[in-house]
Amino acid sequence: MCACAPAQVGTFTEWKDGAMPVVSLCSTKGGVGKTTLAICLAAAYAARGGTVAILDADPNGHVRAWHEAAARERRGCGVDVVAGVKEDTLQDAIATAVERYQLVLLDLEGAASKAVTFAIAESDLVVIPSGISGMDLQEVFRTHAEVRRASKMLRREIPARVVFTRMSPILSRVAKHARQEIADAGIPILDTTTIQRPNAYQSMHFNGLTPLHAEGDPKAAAEMERALDEILALIAPAEEAA
Ligand SMILES: Nc1ncnc2c1ncn2[C@@H]1O[C@H](COP(=O)(O)OP(=O)(O)O)[C@@H](O)[C@H]1O
Ligand SMILES: [Mg+2]
């Protein structure tokens, strides 16, 4: 039985034929919130009635661990996980997943690797989570440069968006500065940020509980819903001119 909260917020998008959205959570840095976002965005999408898979392409297998915990605790939430995706199986795994699911999320390792490059190349949108430290910003630039290189190689625009994660609830000067620095470099940023909420997010891997479950943290759920709304708006197929 699924213990998900009922879909409350936003709309669920029906993709037109041929549109197969693949969204990568990508950063050359670990610990910035990729896996947390992958799981929570997938859970939010599933709670709206969409079919969604996360391809776990991080050798650490954190998504798989969460999924196993969720199954153990009977907290299945309509999210499928394809575990153990590696450099040599990534492209086929994506090709299979886009046939079966309306949304495919890729959780990647925090490094620059061939698997990451392949994932970027297959993506309709690359989401780059980041904190606000100088080190984090440096990795945003590095990650974004990887996206640009892939775009040039493929001669197609691969959209990318930074999302600030684990923020203080009060916007600090450092946070404003970080946002400005990314914006000045011409890298677009999601309006939504995730706030530092240890209770809401850090127990997920032990008990499978995401904020999207009925007993999850409603404020965390709301920020994930907002992030999902922004992402869906970005990858929704453009309206055809009448
Ligand atoms: N908004 C948040 N509030 C509190 N802890 C968070 C938040 N986002 C992520 N975390 C925690 O930070 C750590 C790193 O996050 P994770 O999603 O695993 O990053 P990555 O996949 O980029 O390595 C994890 O322990 C996770 O639970
Ligand atoms: Mg991770």
pTM of the model: 0.92
CB-ligand 1 contact for 166 (6 Å cutoff): yes
83 within domain boundaries:
yes
In the prediction, which pLDDT does 168 show? 95
5 within domain boundaries:
no
Task: Return the residue whose CA atom lies nearest to atom 11 of ligand 1.
Answer: 202
What is the tally of structural domains in the chain? 1
Weakest-pLDDT range from 8-17, 169-178, 216-225 = 8-17
Q: Which pLDDT band, with edges at 50, 70 and 90, does 1 fall under? A: very low
* Pocket probe mutation, ligand 1, options 193, 201, 219, 223, max atoms within 8 Å of Cβ: 201
SS (H, E, C) 134-193: HHHHHHHHHHHHHHHHHHHHHCCCCCEEEEECCECCCCCHHHHHHHHHHHHCCCCECCCC
In the prediction, which pLDDT does 76 show? 74
* Burial of 76: CB neighbours in 10 Å, binned 0-12, 13-18, 19+: middle
152 within domain boundaries:
yes
Residue 46's nearest CA partner among 55, 57, 54 is 54
CB-ligand 1 contact for 198 (6 Å cutoff): yes
pLDDT tens digits for 36-83?
999 999 999 999 999 999 999 999 999 999 999 999 988 778 999 999
142 within domain boundaries:
yes
217 within domain boundaries:
yes
* Pocket probe mutation, ligand 1, options 136, 166, 194, 224, max atoms within 8 Å of Cβ: 166
The domain that holds 169 is classified in CATH as: 3.40.50.300
Q: Domain range spanning residue 51?
A: 22-232
Please report, rounded to a whole number, the percentage of residues in the chain having pLDDT higher than 70. 90
Q: Which pLDDT band, with edges at 50, 70 and 90, does 21 fall under? A: very high
CB-ligand 1 contact for 32 (6 Å cutoff): yes
Residue 151's nearest CA partner among 127, 128, 123 is 123
Q: Which pLDDT band, with edges at 50, 70 and 90, does 242 fall under? A: very low
Q: Are 121 and 95 in contact (CB under 8 A)?
A: no
* Burial of 142: CB neighbours in 10 Å, binned 0-12, 13-18, 19+: middle
In the prediction, which pLDDT does 18 show? 54
166 within domain boundaries:
yes
6 within domain boundaries:
no
More confident residue, 19 or 7: 19
Ligand nearest to the CA of 60: 2
